[in-house]
Structure 1
Amino acid sequence: MKKKYAICGVSNRSLKMFIGPMLSTFSNQAEIVGLLDIDSRRFEVCKSKYPELAGVPEYGADAFDKMVAQTKPDVIIVTGRDDTHVTYILKALQHDLDVLSEKPMATTGADCRRIMDAESKSKGKVTVAFNYRYAPIHSRIKELVLEGKVGRVTSVDLNWYIDTYHGASYFKRWNRVREHSGGLSIHKSSHHFDLVNWWTGQQPVEVFAFGALNYYGPDGELNPKKEDGRHCATCEVKPDCNYYMRWSSRGKEVHVADDHIGAVGTVDAQAPYSEYRSDACIYDSQIDIEDTYSVNVKYNGGALLTYSVNFSLPYEGYRLAINGTKGRIESMEYHSSGRVPFPVPVQTIDYFPLFGSKETIHVVHRQGGHGGGDPTLLEDIFLGPDPKRPYDILSGSIDGAYSVGTGEAVWRSVKENRPIRIEDVLAST
């Protein structure tokens, strides 16, 4: 039977990740009955892209209860700015509605606890859209761990690299304010922490971290001029900005595929929305988050994670090693926002038994965002979990909470220069 969905947060992610596929691939399973957002211009953008939504009613940010009463949705999809997630998740659970939330589930551990407590009293269920789990490489790594290839997981090394285009984009947008995003240790790294939690089958217990703002903000070494309030579209010193010119010529900005920038037009056009634009200067003093982290995490099953992430590098990708009592898994991935400055091999998985010879595992790669994970995630959401898959992969509120809790513990450890326990981060207020 077709389910009715209401969208809270008519963002670029909601348009590309959910609304488009719901109107095409999953039109027999899903019906969009309501759109809610703080900015009416977003409704115009959405309906100009998807004219078939012309008759779908629109609601302001404070009209959630009215929307539910009038449209009677079965599921609420939460895809607004990160700090708004908790509001609509809690409201949905109060109405006993299921919720599908974009990651992160919330921006603080305390809000995650509020969500878990509310879910325990509701008929509704929370699902968090952790699409990285669904990338074929990542799913195969999970299978290898479940098959016992590495034995009991003892340590994980994960180094994540984000290029100068993608990395800088976070500092042009609302993500650069911790109050809105929780910082990148939550907004971005929650993806990575969830993968490690899922791969190991263990829960994080304690975190110690170092971090810094090395590249962006007013003290960034490549800042061509200390001046707040600039935007790329009108900036007079952008020819002297290495981050801008890396992707541009003097006559035209070169745009590449990026999930995060611009629902319509280009980033140097006038803002497509009423009160928001995504081309703020990456050197603005408003920035209060870090762009570099080095992290240690202890898990309840004895595993130890060594993690790092850097948001200003020549290319994207990661290096992963999972060590256990019977062997080791390794994998490396390289890509870039449209260009890779060197030849890139197809990603594989190397398995090293503790005593024996190396095995290279090739995985069938799929098309689609996030390493081919997006289409399969959507199938599980709208068609139900694949009955042939012998392990759980869809994420719930507990998964969302532990990923956010780890991310908050990271930035708190950076600020307080001490280990932070996850149970304290997720404690009730």
Structure 2
Amino acid sequence: MKRFAVCGVSNRAIDMFIKPIFKTFSETCRLVGMLDFDNKRFDVCRNLVPETMDVPTFHNGEFEQMITETRPDVIIVASRDDTHVEYIVKALEHDLDVITEKPMATTAADCRKIIDAEEKSKGTVTVTFNYRYNPYHTKIKEMILEGKLGKITSVDLNWYIDTYHGSSYFQRWNRQRELSGGLSIHKSSHHFDLVNWWLDQKPVEVFSFGARNYYGQESPFNPKQEDGRFCFTCDVSPNCSYYMRWNTRSNSASVQDDHISSDMKRKNAYTNYRTDQCIFDSSIEIEDTYTATVKYDQGALLSYSINFSLPYEGYRLAINGTKGRIETMEYHAPSRVPFPTPTQVIDYYPLFGSKETIHVVERTGGHGGGDPIMQEDIFLGVDPFRPYKILSGSEDGAYAVTTGEAVWKSVKQNKAIKVDDLLAYQSMT
């Protein structure tokens, strides 16, 4: 029986780790401790997962006590992004294995601390990059391994975040770079990891442009130059295009309940944490639009863009190689897309030959069917019949985060940033 303790009883911790431990993997796994700074998070968890009623709870500053009293084998880290490094390093100092939510950390310097701590520890770090497990993404990996593209020369990846999802980042703690690393880390690091994994190459240099076009005080959509507003009590919300896209003028509780996700309601139950901060506050400092070019150590080039305020959510992908090209497009959250969406397929174009359209076998479960398979790898052990590596380690986590840091630093400094310079702690002021 493997013993787990969780640091950060977040929404993600509950849904991705705590529920599966009790509902699916209880024969081999046991939750022995939960640590958080907010008692209400324990209450929410107990309400959603009654089996946790008798699990011991601990507060910030009681990590050592939790280790001594509960004797876990593995620490699961699912707290706010900037706190990951503290729990990961402490766990490694106790020779414990670590499973951490992505991003692994918020800076290259903290990634370096984690890698150094792991080298001295008997424990190992696993980063839960669930995008890898999406069946479309694993199929693309398999096509590359089969040699259908030959040598990869370039990747075009354009990611689209809709007005519902995109604005949510600017209502929460994510809008502070010191807490999230900015969206080029908090969000885009997942995409960089996916490309790194497909290519099996390491990023070496990044040049990017970025801007804040939609959010913040200077937004053309800001109905009033005033800080400190909250969406659900705001007197100008009927003039806010973002609010009115998902709500009505009556602003009644019953109307709000139709549009506020269970995730949002759960988070609003926590102490001193609101998910409806105004997206036009002057304190917002992070970018909402990026384009970037990434050079890899084996010659591949990535052309990447992400936009956090678009009419629909999804991505367009093309991978080019010396033997052919792959194209695909996915629409996320089809219930929020204001038009019919086609079923995703993968189109393969050999360099000389006829186009092939591949219909991928889909799976049920979160994040496009990938979450349940990743959870099996985490809680049962890596699938021995899978012919390629998919579960991520600390180096994978570090390169994803550092690429994201290189993106925003390139924006600020208007120059190319070398990835290994950041990982080696060199000053980039």
Q: TM-score, normalised by structure 2?
A: 0.96
Kept in 2, the 8 Å contact 1:258–1:337? The answer is no
Deviations 1:65-103 (A, max 9, x none): 110000000100000100000000000000000000000
Structure-2 separation of matches of 1:115 and 1:50: 31
Residue equivalent to 2:290: 293
Gaps of 5+ in 1: 265-270
Residue equivalent to 1:101: 100
Structure-2 separation of matches of 1:259 and 1:309: 26
- Aligned to 1:154, what secondary structure does the other structure show? strand
* Number of residue equivalences: 422
Residue equivalent to 2:113: 114
- Aligned to 2:166, what secondary structure does the other structure show? helix
Structure 1 stretch displaced more, 414-423 or 223-232: 223-232
Structure-2 separation of matches of 1:241 and 1:46: 34
Structure-2 separation of matches of 1:320 and 1:200: 14
Structure 1 stretch displaced more, 108-117 or 246-255: 246-255
- Aligned to 1:114, what secondary structure does the other structure show? helix
- Aligned to 1:38, what secondary structure does the other structure show? coil
Structure-2 separation of matches of 1:119 and 1:51: 35
Kept in 2, the 8 Å contact 1:12–1:262? The answer is no
Kept in 2, the 8 Å contact 1:247–1:254? The answer is no
Kept in 1, the 8 Å contact 2:100–2:125? The answer is yes
Structure-2 separation of matches of 1:100 and 1:26: 16
Residue equivalent to 1:74: 73
Structure-1 separation of matches of 2:217 and 2:258: 25
Q: What is the letter of the counterpart of residue 60 of structure 2? A: A
Q: What is the letter of the counterpart of residue 332 of structure 1? A: M
- Aligned to 2:54, what secondary structure does the other structure show? coil
Matched-pair identity in %: 66
Residue equivalent to 1:245: 244
Deviation for aligned residue 1:254: 5.9
Q: What is the letter of the counterpart of residue 187 of structure 1? A: H
Deviation for aligned residue 1:286: 1.8
**In the superposition, relative to structure 1, how do residues 347 and 390 fare at CA in structure 2: closer, same or farther (>3 Å)?**
same
Structure-2 separation of matches of 1:138 and 1:178: 29
Deviations 1:96-121 (A, max 9, x none): 00000000000000110110111011
Residue equivalent to 1:165: 164
Structure-2 separation of matches of 1:12 and 1:335: 20
Residue equivalent to 2:364: 367
RMSD: 1.3
Residue equivalent to 2:316: 319
**In the superposition, relative to structure 1, how do residues 144 and 304 fare at CA in structure 2: closer, same or farther (>3 Å)?**
same
Residue equivalent to 2:355: 358
Structure 1 stretch displaced more, 415-424 or 281-290: 281-290
After TM superposition, the structure 1 = structure 2 runs for residues 22-41 of structure 1, keeping only pairs within 5 Å, are 22-41=21-40
Kept in 2, the 8 Å contact 1:316–1:336? The answer is yes
Tell me, yes or no, if structure 1 residue 88 matches structure 2 residue 51. no
Deviation for aligned residue 1:326: 0.7
Q: TM-score, normalised by structure 1?
A: 0.96
After TM superposition, the structure 1 = structure 2 runs for residues 150-229 of structure 1, keeping only pairs within 5 Å, are 150-229=149-228
**In the superposition, relative to structure 1, how do residues 336 and 218 fare at CA in structure 2: closer, same or farther (>3 Å)?**
same
Deviation for aligned residue 1:250: 2.3
Residue equivalent to 2:266: 263
Kept in 1, the 8 Å contact 2:150–2:322? The answer is yes
Residue equivalent to 1:281: 278
Higher helix share: 2
Residue equivalent to 1:268: none
Q: What is the letter of the counterpart of residue 144 of structure 1? A: M
- Aligned to 2:266, what secondary structure does the other structure show? coil
Q: What is the letter of the counterpart of residue 6 of structure 1? A: A
- Aligned to 2:280, what secondary structure does the other structure show? coil
Residue equivalent to 2:141: 142
Deviations 1:171-206 (A, max 9, x none): 000000000000000000011000000001100000
Q: What is the letter of the counterpart of residue 278 of structure 2? A: C
- Aligned to 2:264, what secondary structure does the other structure show? coil
Residue equivalent to 1:416: 413
Kept in 1, the 8 Å contact 2:85–2:114? The answer is yes
Deviation for aligned residue 1:233: 1.8
Structure-2 separation of matches of 1:109 and 1:315: 32
Structure-2 separation of matches of 1:262 and 1:125: 35
Return structure 1 stretches of 4+ with deviation > 6 angstroms. Answer: none
Structure-2 separation of matches of 1:135 and 1:261: 25
Residue equivalent to 1:267: none
- Aligned to 1:277, what secondary structure does the other structure show? coil
Q: What is the letter of the counterpart of residue 234 of structure 2? A: C
Structure 1 stretch displaced more, 366-375 or 407-416: 366-375
- Aligned to 1:246, what secondary structure does the other structure show? helix
Structure-2 separation of matches of 1:231 and 1:322: 43
Structure-2 separation of matches of 1:349 and 1:261: 34
**In the superposition, relative to structure 1, how do residues 74 and 339 fare at CA in structure 2: closer, same or farther (>3 Å)?**
same
Gaps of 5+ in 2: none
- Aligned to 1:263, what secondary structure does the other structure show? helix
Structure-2 separation of matches of 1:234 and 1:62: 35
Tell me, yes or no, if structure 1 residue 305 matches structure 2 residue 302. yes
Deviation for aligned residue 1:383: 0.9
Structure-2 separation of matches of 1:76 and 1:159: 35
Structure-2 separation of matches of 1:263 and 1:302: 46
Structure 1 stretch displaced more, 390-399 or 332-341: 332-341
Deviations 1:274-312 (A, max 9, x none): 121111111111211000000000000100000000000
